[in-house]
């Protein structure tokens, strides 16, 4: 991740300001407020603002007038109860806003989560930066033979070098053409006074999907946790998972009790279907259940055995 001197100065100025408030603040999150947390090669996330904390969740659940009417242990127990039984509305009372820099193809995945407020950098108004995501060699994999949405073995040797060269060359070439069509440089200055450039809103269509974009993304805690439960999962695409894992660390700072409950009951927990629960009960009763006698498909059986830590 490379920030310009001007961007670093803006962040330093924002972090140097302090405003007295009667609102709840979280010291651990204040420590990293506005700071850029690197993700991938040129990306980052920044916490820009937040409202509420663990106590806001408890306050909403009890519809109380104050913040500390119960013991901390009782508040933690309530949050864990809410998480365990999927009572969602109290978690909607806390909100957070991020500034995210990410490749366009990751943004197109991310935007499918339609429960946030989003404002993206406008390539109709401004010129996009010459920054492209190029995977690290260990993340350069072939298509999975068993999962149409997944990756298989990592490419190596000449094949990997060829793919990396194609990614770099294609991104650089299309960006050069983008600038040529605009008749502007990256700072927006006209290059050839005798030529009229193509409109920015049209020139952008030639860019590769690994070009970086930026947005502000604001959501409530409930919907953030839903996003993270999907995108921080081991089955999620690596690139968006890298952002989700960085965001998980900010959640840990912001609402540590909620974060622990989330890790215990959502990320570390397992949901069993009614047939799956029936099979588990049969196994606990001593019955030797097989996939053929379970009534489950091969895929569902394999998923159940994986969840139970048993050979499929």
Provide the annotated active-site residues: 231
Cβ contact 243:39 at 8 Å: yes
Q: Which residues pair with 171 in a beta bridge?
A: none
Cβ contact 304:270 at 8 Å: no
Cβ contact 42:62 at 8 Å: no
Q: What is the DSSP letter of 211?
A: B
Q: Distance (Å, rounded) from C-alpha 36 to C-alpha 32?
A: 8
Half-sphere exposure of 143 (CA within 13 A, CB side): 3
Q: Which residues pair with 215 in a beta bridge?
A: 100, 120
Output the six-digit token pair for 111. 């935007």
Provide the Cα torsion 14, 20, 26, 30; round to 10°: 20
Cβ contact 271:303 at 8 Å: no
Q: Distance (Å, rounded) from C-alpha 94 to C-alpha 295?
A: 43
Burial category of 163 from C-beta neighbours within 10 Å (exposed 0-12, middle 13-18, buried 19 and up) = middle
Output the six-digit token pair for 290. 């097989």
């Amino acid at each position: 991740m490379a920030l310009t001197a001007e961007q670093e100065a803006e962040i330093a100025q924002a972090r140097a300001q302090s405003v007295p408030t009667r609102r709840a603040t979280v010291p651990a999150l204040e420590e990293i407020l506005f700071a850029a947390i690197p993700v991938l090669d040129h990306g980052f996330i920044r916490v820009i603002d937040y409202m509420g904390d663990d106590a806001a969740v408890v306050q909403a659940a009890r519809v109380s007038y104050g913040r500390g009417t119960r013991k901390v242990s009782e508040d933690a127990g309530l949050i864990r109860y809410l998480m365990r039984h999927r009572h969602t509305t109290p978690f909607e009372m806390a909100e957070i806003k991020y500034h995210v820099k990410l490749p366009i193809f990751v943004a197109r995945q991310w935007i499918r989560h339609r429960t946030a407020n989003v404002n993206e950098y406008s390539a109709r108004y401004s010129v996009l930066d010459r920054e492209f995501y190029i995977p690290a060699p260990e993340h350069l994999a072939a298509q999975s033979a068993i999962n149409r949405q997944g990756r298989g073995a990592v490419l190596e040797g000449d094949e990997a070098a060829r793919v990396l060269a194609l990614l770099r060359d294609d991104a650089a070439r299309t960006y050069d053409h983008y600038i040529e069509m605009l008749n502007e440089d990256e700072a927006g200055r006209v290059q050839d006074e005798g030529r009229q450039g193509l409109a920015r809103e049209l020139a952008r269509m030639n860019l590769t999907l690994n070009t970086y974009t930026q947005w502000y993304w604001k959501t409530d805690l409930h919907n953030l946790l839903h996003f993270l439960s999907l995108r921080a999962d081991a089955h999620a695409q690596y690139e968006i998972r890298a952002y989700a894992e960085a965001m998980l660390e900010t959640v840990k700072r912001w609402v540590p009790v909620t974060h622990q409950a989330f890790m215990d009951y959502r990320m570390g927990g397992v949901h069993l279907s009614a047939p799956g629960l029936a099979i588990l009960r049969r196994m606990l009763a001593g019955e030797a259940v097989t996939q053929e006698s379970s009534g489950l498909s091969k895929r569902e059986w394999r998923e159940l055995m994986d969840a139970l830590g048993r050979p499929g």
